[in-house]
Amino acid sequence: MVENILYLDCASGISGDMILGALLDLNAPSERLQTVIDQLGLEASLNITKVQKNGEKGKRVKVEAEERKPKGLEDIKNLLHGSGLDSNIVKKSEETFQNLAEVEGKIHDIPPDEIHFHEIGADDAIVDIVGTFALLEYFDFSKIYSSKINLGTGGTIKSDHGKLSNPAPATLELLKNVPVYSTIEGEETVTPTGAVLLLQLVDEFESFPPMRIKKVGRGAGEKDFSIPNVFRMFIGEQENSEPNDEKIMKIETNLDDCSPEILAYTMERLFDIGALDVYHVPIQMKKNRPSVKLVVLCDPCKIREVERVLFEETSTLGYRYIEMDKRELSRDVKDIQTKYGKVEVKIGYYDGERKLAPEFDICRELAEKNSVSLRKVYQEAIKEFNSPEEDDYGGN
Q: What is the CATH number of the domain that holds 354?
A: 3.10.20.300
- Which residues constitute the domain of residue 297? 249-318
> Is 13 in the same domain as 48?
yes
Angle at CA of residue 142, ends 138 and 146, nearest 5°: 95
Q: Within a 10 A sphere around the Cβ of 30, how many other Cβ atoms? A: 17
Residue 175 in domain: yes
> Is 87 in the same domain as 219?
yes
End-to-end CA distance of the chain: give it in Å, rounded: 25
What's residue 396's pLDDT? 38
What's residue 340's pLDDT? 95
> Is 273 in the same domain as 143?
no
What's residue 162's pLDDT? 65
Q: State phi, psi for 377 to the nearest 5 degrees.
A: -65, -45
> Is 143 in the same domain as 44?
yes
Q: Within a 10 A sphere around the Cβ of 322, how many other Cβ atoms? A: 9
Q: What is the CATH number of the domain that holds 267?
A: 3.30.70.1380
Crossing angle of the two packed helices 303-313 and 260-272, in degrees rounded to 10: 160
The CA distances from residue 252 to 283, 289, 291, 308, 382, in Å, are 13, 18, 13, 14, 38
> Is 281 in the same domain as 309?
yes
Q: Alpha-carbon distance 93 to 197, whole Å? A: 9
> Is 265 in the same domain as 142?
no
Q: State phi, psi for 44 to the nearest 5 degrees.
A: -150, 155
> Is 380 in the same domain as 306?
no
What's residue 309's pLDDT? 96
> Is 312 in the same domain as 340?
no
- Boundary of a domain, candidates 238, 264, 283: 238
Q: Are 120 and 193 in contact (CB under 8 A)?
A: yes
Residue type, 146: S
- Boundary of a domain, candidates 214, 238, 262: 238
> Is 257 in the same domain as 374?
no
What's residue 105's pLDDT? 82
CA 51 to chain centre: 30
> Is 117 in the same domain as 209?
yes
What's residue 171's pLDDT? 92
What's residue 331's pLDDT? 79
What's residue 118's pLDDT? 52
Residue 396 in domain: no
The tally of domains found in the chain comes to: 3
| 357: β partners | 346
> Is 41 in the same domain as 190?
yes
Residue 20 in domain: yes
For each of the chain's 396 residues, which pLDDT tens digit applies? Answer: 678 999 999 999 999 999 999 999 999 999 999 999 999 998 889 999 999 998 899 999 998 877 667 678 888 999 999 999 999 999 999 999 999 888 888 887 887 777 666 555 578 889 999 999 999 999 989 899 999 999 988 887 776 666 888 888 889 999 999 999 999 888 899 999 999 999 999 999 977 888 889 999 999 999 989 899 999 999 998 876 667 788 999 999 999 999 999 999 999 999 999 999 999 999 999 888 899 999 999 999 999 999 999 999 999 999 999 999 998 887 788 899 999 999 999 988 887 678 899 999 999 999 999 999 999 999 999 999 887 554 444 443
DSSP-derived pairing of the beta strands 143-146 and 204-205:
parallel
> Is 164 in the same domain as 292?
no
- What lies within 8 Å, CB to CB, of 8 at 6+ separation is 14, 144, 145, 146, 147, 198, 201, 202, 231, 232, 233
Residue 185 in domain: yes
Residue 391 in domain: no
- Boundary of a domain, candidates 238, 259, 279: 238
The model carries a pTM of 0.64
Residue 127 in domain: yes
Q: State phi, psi for 174 to the nearest 5 degrees.
A: -65, -35
